[in-house]
Amino acid sequence: MSLPLQFRTALVFGAGAAEVGPGNGAAIAIRMAEQGAVVFAADKDIEAARRTQRLVRDTGGRCEVIEADVCIEDSIQNAVRLAQAADGNIDILVNNVGVVMLGGPEELSVQDWDRSFELNTRSAFLALKHVLPVMGKAGRGAIVQVSSIASTRAGGTAFCAYSASKAALNALGMSVAMQYAARGIRCNNIILGMMDTALVRQQLAIGHPQGLEDLLTQRNATCPTGAMGLPWDAADAAAFLASDAARYINGTDLFVDGGLHNQVVASRA
């Protein structure tokens, strides 16, 4: 069995699994552990992190949990310290924390705008700030940031803070990729399209309790493939970008969207 991430230590922020099933962060943690990495699943919700840990261990992988609030710098520093203690280095960093605040400039409160950037962008900055010195000392490292197609294209939903903060995340990743390339550190962004996760279904059901199936059908029809992506699609992309198979891929926005970004462009012509 191929283990492309064997002997690697991976720190995954936002790795907790919901009660209804694993989302993108949990799936990334599980897949990296399956490929041999020692995974540190960091999440503000420690019980969610423990659910991911159990799923990892069910597959025979290694996973430790860390309670971490990405809005608090000391909490991130502690997570980095605990992960580094495993073998002296953090080989892989995954920034997977995010929140969607609905509304355009008129509707959205200043507090929600600030909260969007705090969770979607500032959290990644803090993780990078404290992981990069560790990777720099070792002379190697792979960083994967989970972004959204909303950062590159306007859709039919008004969530200006989400789009702007995820676009800032993309730019942050590009900047890091260029600054640290000569030090053996790579940074890439995964741009997710429509994803079918248990948590997304749960959130959609709150606003559309009677029409969930119709809404899911509409979302599937929006995708060029006729179906939304799964958390495992995000996980496979993240594991690939973290591996030596992607050793010459750096500063890239990898679209994991079934081609949706091309469809949006075509619809404007």
**Do you know the residue count of the chain?**
269
162 is catalytic: yes
Counting Cα atoms < 13 Å in the Cβ hemisphere of 198 gives: 12
How much of the chain is helix, strand and coil, in % rounded to 5? 50, 15, 30
The closest alpha carbon to 14, from 172, 145, 203, belongs to 145
Question: Max Cα separation, the chain?
Answer: 55
Q: Of the candidates 250, 248, 239, which has an alpha carbon nearest to the alpha carbon of residue 5? A: 239
Residue with tokens 């962004």: 189
Exactly one of 40, 159, 162, 255 is catalytic; name it.
Answer: 162
SS3 call for 17: coil
Burial grade of 224 (CB within 10 A; 0-12, 13-18, 19 or more): middle
Burial environment of residue 110 by CB neighbours within 10 A (0 to 12, 13 to 18, 19 or more)? exposed
Residues 30, 12: Cα–Cα separation, whole Å: 10
Catalytic residues: 162
